[in-house]
Amino acid sequence: MKIINALKATAVASLLSTSLFAGALGTHWGYTGHSSPEHWAELNPLFFMCKDGSNQSPINIVKKDILATTGLEKIKFNYTTNASGVINNGHTIQVNVKDGSSITIDGIQFDLKQFHFHTPSENEVDGKHFPLEAHFVHAAKDGHLAVISVLFEDGKENVDLKRIWSKMPHKESSAGCGLPAAMIKDILPKNKAYYRFDGSLTTPPCSEGVRWFVMQDYSHVSAAQVKEFAKLIHGHDNRPVQPMNARKVLK
């Protein structure tokens, strides 16, 4: 029981500050070679869920298997604060957000902590990767997590991403960020209809019990912008899709 509580605390800590997490566990993990996703569970006993979990993320969203409901609850967005900084944490580019932004779903307020990017996308739709995916990470007071995912299709340059990219630190560090609250909201598509499923962190320790909301509408990103991001993170930062097991995707 103790280890589960420790894990939960560590999972939240990792999302809030990856450097704190690295300090706590001191385990290097990555996306290539001996530290790649298929080895995560071997790197540290605390990463056991990466191998033993049954509700892991990311997933392949198969459209014909989606359970259509009579209408999922609308997510109430309250993104009112600005970005406080852009961090290159060695795994991704992460934009930290000042306290005060949140979403409400299932009657629970989840506070927006940060958002970050993966290339190619981690979640797939009908077996197809997207060039980029953004994860907006939220935590409730009790530590439960909710992630809103935005998938980016190949297209014209994304002006909102351009503002973030211009602040991306090339070395592990943080930098000031003038990204206003309105622009954080603009990164999400206008139509907030979503696919919903249960999942996990897509990075060690792969803790489960994470509410996932993938936006049904896509945003766009240029090939040059993806290339610039990929160069910074030395290639790619996506965990492969995981088995669905007993789960269903709802819409």
Active-site residues, by number, are: 91
Q: Which stretch binds Zn ion (CB under 5 A): 32-40, 47-55, 104-112, 128-136?
A: 128-136
Three-class DSSP category at 115: strand
- Write down the least CB distance from residue 116 to Zn ion, Å: 5
Q: Please state the closest distance from residue 118 (CB atom) to Zn ion, in A.
A: 5
The nearer residue to Zn ion, 1 or 151, going by C-beta atoms, is: 151
Q: Which stretch binds Zn ion (CB under 5 A): 73-81, 104-112, 133-141, 158-166?
A: 133-141
Binding flag, residue 135, Zn ion (CB under 5 A):
yes
Distance of alpha carbon 249 from alpha carbon 251, whole angstroms: 7
Please give the residues from 53 up to 72 whose contact with Zn ion meets the rule CB under 5 A.
none
State the nearest-atom distance from the C-beta of 71 to Zn ion, in Å. Answer: 28
Contact 225, 161 (CB under 8 A): yes
Residue 165: phi, psi to the nearest 5?
A: -55, -35
Quote the tokens at residue 2.
């103790």
- DSSP, collapsed to helix, strand or coil, labels residue 247 as coil
Strands 145-154 and 219-221: parallel
Check residue 239 for interaction with Zn ion (CB under 5 A): no
State in angstroms the smallest separation of the CB of 135 from Zn ion: 4
Identify which range of 41-49, 71-79, 131-139, 160-168 contacts Zn ion by CB under 5 A. 131-139
In terms of CB distance, is 25 or 150 closer to Zn ion? Answer: 150
For residue 220, state whether it binds Zn ion (rule: CB under 5 A).
Answer: no
**Residues 156 and 223: beta-carbon distance below 8 Å:** no
Give the phi and the psi of residue 219 in degrees, each rounded to 5.
Answer: -100, -170
The nearest distance, CB 69 to Zn ion, in angstroms, is: 26
Backbone angles phi, psi at 143, to 5 degrees: 95, -10
From 44-52, 127-135, 171-179, 240-248, span contacting Zn ion (CB under 5 A)? 127-135
DSSP 135-167: EEEEE-TTS-EEEEEEEEEE-S--HHHHHHHTT
> What whole-number distance in Å separates Cα of residue 106 and Cα of residue 23?
34
Q: For Zn ion, which is the closer residue by CB, 111 or 237?
A: 237
Residues that bind Zn ion (CB under 5 A): 135
